[in-house]
Structure 1
């Protein structure tokens, strides 16, 4: 099994693998180009994002700066907006539904590191996917941790740290995030 296959399947993998290193370098090249574009360069922006992401279902707008690990593991629905400074660490799949809006400085992370210090210091990693349903709004400076699944119509309050999954139709907030209100 390749290191890429291990990464995608959630197993321990070596991120210094040659293919993974090339994939990250390509993502950094594309995001650097994207981050230098202006709003008026719509077709160039779409082409870059189409080359970067695994799948785009429709209209997406991402304000620079945007950064990710691989890009190919990010799948985005229609009518998607991301404000400034978003980081998506997509070592595992990040699936985002239709009509989702992400505030500034949001982090969505799939990357995990071993708890054991000897194993962690060896450089190996593992990853857990993140799924965000349809019609979600994630407030500025929120963090979505590995393995989280957010149902449809979820609102994440600004500054929240989401460490577990939440069902449809809730507002969550805090550190760690908890249900504040049902919608």
Structure 2
């Protein structure tokens, strides 16, 4: 059954949360996360099966480390090779869309929800939600907060503790509160890490051949 406030919520318009419940009850997602968080962390098969009920996934190559928290558990999509460390929050009143090869550190918060800046309107229980998009090959450090409507560009890095209030370009490192571009990621980065990779494999081969 269609529901006005649920449609408003996903459209990024004002809505009243208590009037969404009939169309999209958040209790199911919260119950699933309760089960995830009470499961022995060594039981990876059960955790992955339960996580698959709260995130739409491109393939079977995804992992979220408990504990994890969601608002609805209905509006999260992750790409291939997705890894999320422990204690993350997905406040998914609107869509959270994550690309391929994304790494998320511990205690990262994805906040799609927002409230009016006018106190009288806010006190009427009207709120809104804007989608969050994370593109391919992004690394998000621990304790990052991502606010409503933000897009993080491909290959970029969000430094630990950053509060991301606006879009992040491709191929940059951002940090701070509010997050700002620290520098671009370029050929010098590639050359450095190619050298370190080559050294790793050389030393590993030498170790194994001893």
Give the structure-1-normalised TM-score: 0.94
Matched, 1:147 2:149: yes
Task: Give the Cα separation in 1 of the matches to 2:113 and 2:96.
Answer: 11
Q: In the alignment, which of 10, 21, 34 is matched to residue 32 of structure 1? A: 34
> Is the contact made by 1:4 and 1:20 (CA closer than 8 Å) also made in structure 2?
no
Q: In the alignment, which of 89, 98, 101 is matched to residue 99 of structure 1? A: 101
Shift, 1:21, TM fit? 8.4
Q: Which moved more, 1:42-51 or 1:157-166?
A: 42-51
Aligned residues: 182
The runs of at least 4 consecutive aligned structure 1 residues that moved more than 3 Å come to none
Q: CA RMSD in A?
A: 1.5
Q: How does 1:41-120 map to 2 (within 5 A)?
A: 41-53=43-55, 55-58=56-59, 59-120=61-122
2:161 paired residue number = 159
> Is the contact made by 1:137 and 1:156 (CA closer than 8 Å) also made in structure 2?
yes
Shift in alpha-carbon separation, 1:20–1:182, aligned structure 2, 3 A:
farther
Higher RCO, 1 or 2 (CA under 8 Å, sep at least 6)? 1
- SS of the aligned residue for 1:99 comes to coil
Task: Give the Cα separation in 1 of the matches to 2:12 and 2:89.
Answer: 20
Shift, 1:168, TM fit? 0.8
> Is the contact made by 1:108 and 1:145 (CA closer than 8 Å) also made in structure 2?
yes
What runs of 5+ residues in structure 1 fail to find an aligned partner?
none
> Is the contact made by 1:86 and 1:107 (CA closer than 8 Å) also made in structure 2?
yes
- SS of the aligned residue for 1:50 comes to helix
Shift, 1:23, TM fit? 2.3
Structure label with greater radius of gyration: 2
Shift, 1:41, TM fit? 2.3
> Is the contact made by 2:79 and 2:100 (CA closer than 8 Å) also made in structure 1?
yes
Task: Give the Cα separation in 2 of the matches to 1:46 and 1:138.
Answer: 21
Q: Which has the higher helix share?
A: 2
Give the structure-2-normalised TM-score: 0.82
